Chains A and B, each alone.
Chain A
Amino acid sequence: EAQVTQNPRYLITVTGKKLTVTCSQNMNHEYMSWYRQDPGLGLRQIYYSMNVEVTDKGDVPEGYKVSRKEKRNFPLILESPSPNQTSLYFCASSLLTGPPLAKNIQYFGAGTRLSVL
């Protein structure tokens, strides 16, 4: 089944303890992105990647890192989590090339709910 898989789905951690949220897609999509969803703020883009080894900042990149060593994986790294990073995180992927109606549609993971105490 074509999908975007995030792990873990739920995570409770403490301030300063490094963590990684994994994201994997099996659709051979070039583009991958991370968002955070907060009440009243909608989804805000953290980082995105147009292809392997190509990443760029979104609107709220502070406190996050990403890497894109393989096309299918796009992990989100919080080196030193803080309480203001408590949020619901979504990974998404899309095709950048191909028929107009097939590309640029973002497919989302199920979300990771993170609590930083």
Chain B
Amino acid sequence: AQRVTQPEKLLSVFKGAPVELKCNYSYSGSPELFWYVQYSRQRLQLLLRHISRESIKGFTADLNKGETSFHLKKPFAQEEDSAMYYCALSPTGTASKLTFGTGTRLQVTL
């Protein structure tokens, strides 16, 4: 069975500080990993996925198959980054069994 673990429910950082939102997964096959974000009063939306290898809004995430991790990082947090972040996994090639973690709320304070 596939599983996604986000160990922190809440992460509070100061503006300008580095951010790392942790995500670990368990899956026996080859996974596709995603980060979804939900800003206040907005819909859940895709932030980034590992196959695109992009930096979105300054965020990056590298898939580490050895450590089965997909941590989300940003060097300098901004106030507008405050949101709920979900890590998600699906078997490669299909979105049918997308499994979400429990989410981490990022709070960026001045």
CB of B96 within 8 A of CB of A106, answer no
CB pair A41 B95 closer than 8 Å? no
* B95 in contact with A31 (CB, 8 Å): yes
Complex Cα distance A94/B44, Å? 13
Are the CB atoms of B43 and A108 closer together than 8 Å?
Answer: yes
CB interface residues, B 22-45, toward A, < 8 Å: 32, 36, 43-45
Q: Which of B94-110 contact A (CB under 8 A)?
A: 94-103
Instruction: State whether A106 touches B102 (Cβ < 8 A).
Output: no
Chain A residues near B43: list those with CB within 8 A.
108-111
Chain B residues near A109 (CB-CB < 8 A): 43
Q: Is A7 an interface residue (CB 8 A)?
A: no
- Total contacting residues, chain A, CB less than 8 A: 29
Contact B103 A106 (CB under 8 A): no
B66-103 contact mask (Cβ, 8 Å, vs A): 1 or 0: 00000000000000000000100010001111111111
The answer to whether A106 and B46 touch across the interface, beta carbons within 8 angstroms, is yes
Complex formed: what's the CA distance from A12 to B87 in Å?
30
Alpha-carbon distance between A42 and B102 when the two chains are bound, in angstroms: 4
Chain A residue nearest to B44 (CB atoms) is A108
User: Is B64 in the interface zone, CB < 8 Å from A?
Assistant: no
Residue of B nearest to A35 (CB): B100
Chain A residues with Cβ under 8 A from B6's Cβ? 42
- Bound complex: CA A15 to CA B87 (Å): 34
Give complex CA distance A4, B1 in Å.
29
Which of A's residues lie within 8 Å of B, judged by CB? 31, 33, 35, 40-45, 48, 50, 56, 58-59, 90, 92, 94, 96, 100-101, 103-111
23 contacts between A and B (CB under 8 A): A31-B95, A31-B96, A33-B98, A35-B100, A40-B9, A42-B6, A42-B100, A42-B101, A43-B44, A45-B97, A50-B96, A56-B96, A59-B99, A92-B44, A96-B94, A104-B32, A105-B49, A106-B36, A106-B46, A106-B95, A106-B98, A107-B45, A110-B43
